[in-house]
Structure 1
Amino acid sequence: MKVPGWLLRHRIAVEPYEGDSAYGPTYGPAVEDVPALVAYAVRTVRNPQGREVTSTATVYAAPDLDCPPESRITLPDGRTTRAITVARHTAPGLPVPECTEVSCE
């Protein structure tokens, strides 16, 4: 069961991270108007290297969101940020919604 669409009140844009090149990070085509729920709250998370970093926003979206760590995200307030961690919450066989949680810089 996916998270109900009526809960995803915000719209974001995601540019999926594809890796590094000789000229810096590369991103896939931007996906505009992605339904999401954005929570602006400061919290400490661990990045993929294991270091503690500060997250200023958390995005909740559908479970099929293509947003690897380091992806660029444009939040509803117009701020462009970067995905620190991505967690996919699933519960096969249980009547709870599945979603993707993205911690942003």
Structure 2
Amino acid sequence: MTALPRWMLRHRITLEPYEGDSAYGPVYGPPLEDVPALVAAKIRTVRNAQGREVTSTATLYAGPELECPPGSRITLPDGRTTTAIATARHTAPGLPVPACTEVSCE
């Protein structure tokens, strides 16, 4: 199985992985800068980790190795900071389609 071709990942994002909560609010890991992704600014309804329907204003596609837990903070190419709602890994073993990670953002 192949990964999503790098030439398709035209945008660059900054990802701060969510690590949990503290007494002072959410805790994020060190920022990963210049992460290749394809960002689609489209409004759609998705389910969050609790199973509730929420509105996503952007979806990004990245390589299958991307680790982006729900709650991670993401800075999009236009400078807008958003939060990851849900992450899905797309694989198709044995089929000639690329693998990728899809992240729905607030």
State TM-score, norm by structure 2.
0.97
Alignment partner of 1:58 is 2:53: no
Per the TM alignment, residue 71 of structure 1 is displaced from its structure 2 partner at its CA by 0.2
Sequence identity (%): 78
Alpha-carbon distance in structure 2 between the residues aligned to 1:92 and 1:38:
25
Runs of 4+ in 1 over 2 A off after TM superposition: none
What is the Cα-based RMSD across aligned positions, in Å?
A: 0.5
Task: Kindly provide the amino acid, as one letter, of the partner of residue 92 in structure 1.
Answer: P
Q: Which runs of 5+ in 2 are unaligned?
A: none
Does the residue aligned with 1:2 lie in a helix, a strand or coil? coil
Match of 1:70 in 2: 71
Per the TM alignment, residue 58 of structure 1 is displaced from its structure 2 partner at its CA by 0.1
Q: Which runs of 5+ in 1 are unaligned?
A: none
Does the residue aligned with 1:100 lie in a helix, a strand or coil? strand
Match of 1:2 in 2: 3
Match of 2:82 in 1: 81
Alpha-carbon distance in structure 2 between the residues aligned to 1:91 and 1:28:
30
Per the TM alignment, residue 43 of structure 1 is displaced from its structure 2 partner at its CA by 0.3
Per the TM alignment, residue 96 of structure 1 is displaced from its structure 2 partner at its CA by 0.5
Per the TM alignment, residue 93 of structure 1 is displaced from its structure 2 partner at its CA by 1.9
State TM-score, norm by structure 1.
0.98
Match of 1:102 in 2: 103
Per the TM alignment, residue 57 of structure 1 is displaced from its structure 2 partner at its CA by 0.2
Alignment partner of 1:17 is 2:8: no
Alpha-carbon distance in structure 2 between the residues aligned to 1:101 and 1:66:
11
Alpha-carbon distance in structure 2 between the residues aligned to 1:67 and 1:84:
10
